[in-house]
Amino acid sequence: MTGIVQTLETPDGPFTIVADADGAVLASGWTGDVETALGRIHPSLRPAEVREGDLHAAEAVRAFYGGDLSAIDDVAVRQRGTEMQQRGWQALRRITPGAPLTYTEFAAGFGAPGAVRPAASICARNAPALFVPCHRVLRSDGSLGGFAWGLDVKRALLDRESGRALL
């Protein structure tokens, strides 16, 4: 399978998107290194080769950074995981921008109250970052917790979504 890759500049640094031939995002994140993005894709979905191209998802990223926080909502994504992971990734897409949840609230939101560690793992294994907004989940004390792309990026995204950042 051949994938499509596009890297664009954002206020938070380079952002690379890897999509399948249909344009569904397989992985994305704040890196200019395509190999890093490819490494986050489940092996059964990972393209054997990628070519550069223009992706609809890149327009959604530009719109998001331009202030349209809902622009990422309808971008198709494709991930492979357990049934619980799938429910979790779907629940992440329902979190309102500017209204982050705790890991406990997030776990309850995908039907697994008390499954805080699995909730954190679901976020950590989320390949299409931004489009599946795992950055919207915080520790119960309100601290940031982890983020594959760095806490500075997570903080900037949360600030942007809450209206505290300059667009």
Residues designated catalytic: 134
CA torsion 101-61-79-117 (nearest 10°) is -20
SS3 state at 94: coil
CA-nearest of 74, 58, 71, 63 to 19 is: 58
Q: 58 with 68: CB under 8 angstroms? A: no
Q: For residue 93, is it left (φ>0), alpha (ψ between -120 and 50) or beta?
A: alpha
Sign of CA dihedral 64, 43, 23, 93: negative
